[in-house]
């Protein structure tokens, strides 16, 4: 009998609690449908609220326990009123990325019928791309561990942008393999390197490594874009792209821009994957102003739960986890096609609980 997956759960702050509960309910439904056991959860306290109450951003031993799990699920972290003395927010998840080398930040961007589409062009209905954001270095290198920034009195601050061969090689190979996987399912088979290689030596190095890795994947087409031009094209012709591989800060900005094209951050799923660990979370914030009010759109978190199940299929060598992930993806798509998913975020009449219950019903119906 298949052993249950071990999931470290960090609910965090604000609506992180609401959307985590929603996600686990959907994940358990999908697993039961394919005959897999309910996961074993290890709840770990962390976030701005915990920091406010204890002076620590994660409970003692929490990081170690997270690393022992098969996967980590995180709801949301941060409260606007709780910050470090230097003004930065509480962000233990950045340290988890750094500690567990979660270099591959996978941000799917997909248009759904009956969800808001910000572009008038009918081709916007075909948006289906992934922004692959390097998540451990780049300009976030200084932010990953509090205190890495160089603060010079009250006159200057220096943050370090770091690009290494080791991480970039793994990131680009991950991108090519992702493009291969999508091509096998009917995707474009295109990987675009997004950088600023015309200005920064670090970005020229990033592109150089991309070119060195490319010949290993002859079945995948390659493209190049400077980040400013790519931002323009994500508004002008986002349907032309497949997988975009970027530096950390560039990916952070572009993924939010792209999320806005297909409804908003309530649809922004995220997987952060390394060679030995994976963390899954909605890319939106904690929205404490609507916490516990049954208003949050849980679909970004639910879709992140699907990404987690797909990851577990590879990690645990059990294909049924991938089947469960497909059930979640198909249920969300079917729900929008039939106009059965109408989140309040989009001006609809369905709160967190109603959206969750509908996805659960659709999985049960075999959508």
CB-CB neighbours of 233 under 10 Å:
15
Q: Are residues 257 and 273 in the same domain?
A: no
Interior angle at CA 66, CA 171 and CA 78, nearest 5: 85
> Is residue 282 within 8 Å of 75, Cβ to Cβ?
yes
Helices of type H across the chain = 16-33, 48-54, 62-68, 92-99, 141-144, 165-184, 201-213, 227-236, 248-261, 299-316, 319-337, 352-365
What are the tens digits of pLDDT across the range 161-187?
999 999 999 999 999 999 999 999 999
State the residue range of the domain holding 311.
1-106+268-367
- In a 13 Å sphere around the CA of 152, the CA atoms on its Cβ side amount to 5
pLDDT above 70: percentage of residues in the chain: 98
Q: Are residues 251 and 273 in the same domain?
A: no
State the average pLDDT over residues 88-103.
91
Residue 112 counted as domain residue? no
What are the tens digits of pLDDT across the range 111-137?
999 998 889 999 999 999 999 999 999
Residues 6+ apart with CB under 8 A from 55: none
Q: Which of 261, 277, 299 is the last residue of a domain?
A: 261
Beta-bridge partner residues of 9: 43, 73
Q: Are residues 257 and 335 in the same domain?
A: no
What are the tens digits of pLDDT across the range 191-233?
999 999 999 999 999 999 999 999 999 999 999 999 999 999 9
Q: Are residues 96 and 121 in the same domain?
A: no
289 CB burial (10 A radius; 0-12, 13-18, 19+): exposed
CATH code, 121:
3.40.718.10
Interior angle at CA 20, CA 53 and CA 247, nearest 5: 85
Q: Which of 234, 261, 288 is the last residue of a domain?
A: 261
State the average pLDDT over residues 14-40.
97
Question: DSSP string covering 198-247, please?
Answer: TT-HHHHHHHHHHHHHGGG-TTSEEEEEEHHHHHHHHHH-GGG-SEEEE-
Residue 343 counted as domain residue? yes
What is the pTM (predicted TM-score) of this model?
0.94
Q: Which residue's structure tokens are 């075999």?
A: 366
Q: How far apart are CA 103 and CA 97, in angstroms?
A: 7
State the average pLDDT over residues 17-27.
97
Q: Are residues 251 and 341 in the same domain?
A: no
Q: Are residues 133 and 240 in the same domain?
A: yes
Q: Are residues 272 and 250 in the same domain?
A: no
Whether residue 297 is predicted with pLDDT greater than 70 in this model: the reply is yes
Q: Are residues 123 and 242 in the same domain?
A: yes
Residue 361 counted as domain residue? yes
- Of 349, 144, 90, the closest CA to residue 252 belongs to 144
State the average pLDDT over residues 312-339.
97
Q: Are residues 249 and 284 in the same domain?
A: no
> Is residue 251 within 8 Å of 133, Cβ to Cβ?
yes
Query: Could you tell me the end-to-end alpha-carbon distance of the chain, in angstroms, rounded to an integer?
Result: 27
Q: Are residues 22 and 92 in the same domain?
A: yes
Q: Is 4 helix (H, G, I), strand (E, B) or coil?
A: coil
DSSP letter for 60, please: T
> Is residue 254 within 8 Å of 246, Cβ to Cβ?
yes
At residue 144 the predicted structure's pLDDT band, cuts being 50, 70 and 90, is low
């Amino acid at each position: 009998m298949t052993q249950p997956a071990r999931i470290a759960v960090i609910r965090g702050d604000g609506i992180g609690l609401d959307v985590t509960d929603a996600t686990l309910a959907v994940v358990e439904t999908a697993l039961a449908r394919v005959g897999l056991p309910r996961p074993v959860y290890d709840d770990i306290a962390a976030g701005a609220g915990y920091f406010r109450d204890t002076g620590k951003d994660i409970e003692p031993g929490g990081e170690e326990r997270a690393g022992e799990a098969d996967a980590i699920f995180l709801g949301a972290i941060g409260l606007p009123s709780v910050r470090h003395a230097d003004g930065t927010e509480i962000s233990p998840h950045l340290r988890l990325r750094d500690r567990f080398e979660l270099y591959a930040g996978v941000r799917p961007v997909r248009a759904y019928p009956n969800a808001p589409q910000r572009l008038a062009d009918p081709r916007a209905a075909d948006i289906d791309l992934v922004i692959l954001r390097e998540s451990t270095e780049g300009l976030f290198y200084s932010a990953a561990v509090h205190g890495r920034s160089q603060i010079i009195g009250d006159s200057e601050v220096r943050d370090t942008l770091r690009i290494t061969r080791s991480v970039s090689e793994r990131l680009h190979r991950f991108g090519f393999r992702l493009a291969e996987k999508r091509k096998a399912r009917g995707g474009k088979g295109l990987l675009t390197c997004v950088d600023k290689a015309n200005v920064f030596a670090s970005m020229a190095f990033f592109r150089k490594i991309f070119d060195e890795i490319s010949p290993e994947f002859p079945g995948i087409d390659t493209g190049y874009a400077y980040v400013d031009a790519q931002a323009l094209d994500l508004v002008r012709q986002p349907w032309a792209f497949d997988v975009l591989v970027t530096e950390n800060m560039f990916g952070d900005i572009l993924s939010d821009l792209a999320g806005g094209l297909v409804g908003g951050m309530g649809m922004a799923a995220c997987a952060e994957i390394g060679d030995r660990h994976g963390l899954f979370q909605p890319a939106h914030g904690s929205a404490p102003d609507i916490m516990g009010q049954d208003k949050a759109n849980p679909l970004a978190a639910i879709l992140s739960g699907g990404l987690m199940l797909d990851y577990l299929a590879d990690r645990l060598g059990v294909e049924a986890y991938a089947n469960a992930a497909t059930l979640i993806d198909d249920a969300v798509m079917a729900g929008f096609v039939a106009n059965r998913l109408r989140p309040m975020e989009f001006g609809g009449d369905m709160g967190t609980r109603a959206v969750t219950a509908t996805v659960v019903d659709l999985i049960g119906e075999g959508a």
